[in-house]
Amino acid sequence: MEKITVDALVENLQTVIDFATEKLEARDCPMKTSMQLELVVEEIFVNIASYAYHPEIGAATFCMEFEENPSAVKMTFIDGGKPYNPLEKDDPDTTLELEDRDIGGLGIFLVKKNVDEISYEYADGKNILRMKKFF
Amino acid sequence: MEIQKEQNGNALTLKIVGRLDAGSAPELSKELTTALDGVTDLTFDFAELKYIASAGLRVLLVAQKRMKKQGAMKLINVSEAVMEVLDMTGFSNLLTVA
């Protein structure tokens, strides 16, 4: 398993994205899948950076693990911020008209659309979000 | 991200180069607060936009809501990767993609 821990700040988003894309490239992950996963990593990391410790600053850990036959990547985000299960958030209604659309919930919705498995656990004072995607 | 502006009277074209993510979206949002004054015809040229995340979608939604009151807005040269995100979120129905 490979992991990186950074302060959960939007300024560190690129560091985490670079870590993820480098590992995915090394495993010959198709470009399209890699871009979808980049979006997943961004949305989760930015959520943690924006809400988990607010107004304090704390750490976020991102782990990647690869499987073969079939090829898949398991990704885990861990933070020690406020307990928060993003999977409990209602999906935005994507059929609403412009006036009725609001700007919340889009990030986690995109995450759910772009992974094959996702689960949340709160354990030992940590939020743990596990995801898996086949490629 | 880089924003290239081209203004012709009331028509404004904003070419967004690079990535519209949580890091860069606030810059575009800030630009739009003043750049849209008096604009009736807004075009986002996405020919060189490689990537969009929800933070970027939010800025587009706010811009579309404002432009609906004062004129029209459209997106041109949208790449396949960006279009996929617009489709997934239903934004392709809310925005005019030419």
Reduced 3-state DSSP string for B38-81: CCCEEEEECCCEEEECHHHHHHHHHHHHHHHHHCEEEEECCCHH
Report the alpha-carbon distance of residue A131 to residue A116 in Å, rounded.
7
Would the CB atoms of A94 and B89 count as touching at under 8 Å?
yes
Contacts of A46 in chain B (CB under 8 A): 22, 53, 55
Size of interface A-B (CB pairs under 8 A): 60
Q: Report the gap between the CA of B70 and the closest CA in chain A (Å).
A: 15
**CATH number for the domain including A73?**
3.30.565.10
Q: Domains of chain B (ranges plus CATH)? A: 2-94 (3.30.750.24)
Structure tokens belonging to residue B67: 């432009």
User: Are the CB atoms for B19 and B46 separated by under 8 Å?
Assistant: no
Q: Structurally, how many domains does chain A consist of?
A: 1
User: Are the CB atoms for B64 and B73 separated by under 8 Å?
Assistant: yes
Q: Determine the structural domain holding residue A93 and report its residue range.
A: 2-134
pLDDT in tens, A32-82: 999 999 999 999 999 999 999 999 999 999 999 999 999 999 999 999 999
Q: Report the gap between the CA of B6 and the closest CA in chain A (Å).
A: 27
pLDDT at A135: 94
Whether omega before A92 lies within 30 degrees of 0, making that bond cis, reads: no
pLDDT in tens, B30-85: 999 999 999 999 999 999 999 999 999 999 999 999 999 999 999 999 999 999 99
pTM of the model: 0.93
pLDDT at B36: 97
For residues A21-41, give the mean pLDDT: 96
Report the alpha-carbon distance of residue A121 to residue B15 in Å, rounded.
42
Shortest CA distance from A12: residue in chain B: B23
Structure tokens belonging to residue B97: 């993609």
